[in-house]
Amino acid sequence: MRKTAPWSAALTLVAAVTGSAALLALTAAPAQAAPARAESLYAPSALVLTVTDGEDATAAPRRAVTLSCTPTASGTHPAAREACAQLRAANGDFDALAGEQGRICTREWRPVTVTAQGVWQGERVDHTRTFANACAKDTEGSAVFSF
């Protein structure tokens, strides 16, 4: 039979008590949330833009892209820099976007509806507009809706 030193049993007991106390302290402490801090000095500008065939904006979109303009232009929009520059020039007013000058479109009525939803410079955006056809959308809607 093997004999153990008396201090070995005492150390084992101390370790068990200390470990149990530490575990109890961890489970009894309330979870602390990390303090909120600003991620950016800029107001957020992130949009989801959609194109739908027809006049119903609630129909399934034919195409959708994302556009984020703060702090730099990004997203899945094919011309994000140009679109952000045009939105900044229009102060976020989608109805004030300047389209292409000199482009001629047919008078065909084949409506296309665009939507812009999200946040522009910290303000909620929910914009819907119907154009006569895809050519009119690309001409009047500028680079923002040309995707």
pLDDT category at 44 given cuts 50, 70, 90 is confident
* Average confidence score pLDDT of the chain: 78
Here the tokens at position 24 are 């109890």
Here the tokens at position 14 are 């101390």
The helix or strand, by DSSP H or E, that contains position 120, with its residue range, turns out to be: strand 112-120
pLDDT category at 127 given cuts 50, 70, 90 is very high
What pTM did the predictor assign?
A: 0.66
Coil/strand/helix, residue 118: strand
Domain 46-145: state its class: alpha beta
pLDDT at position 36 is 44
Here the tokens at position 20 are 């149990």
Lowest mean pLDDT: which of 32-41, 83-92, 117-126? Answer: 32-41
117 with 45: CB under 8 angstroms? no
Complete DSSP assignment for 51-111: EEESS-TTSPPSEEEEEE-SSS-BSS-TTHHHHHHHHHHTTT-GGG----SS---------
CA distance 47 to 119: 6
pLDDT at position 113 is 95
Domain borders along the chain are: 46-145
pLDDT at position 70 is 83
pLDDT at position 125 is 92
Model pLDDT for residues 54-86, shown as the tens digit of each residue: 998 788 899 999 999 988 899 999 999 999 999
pLDDT above 70 as % of the chain: 68
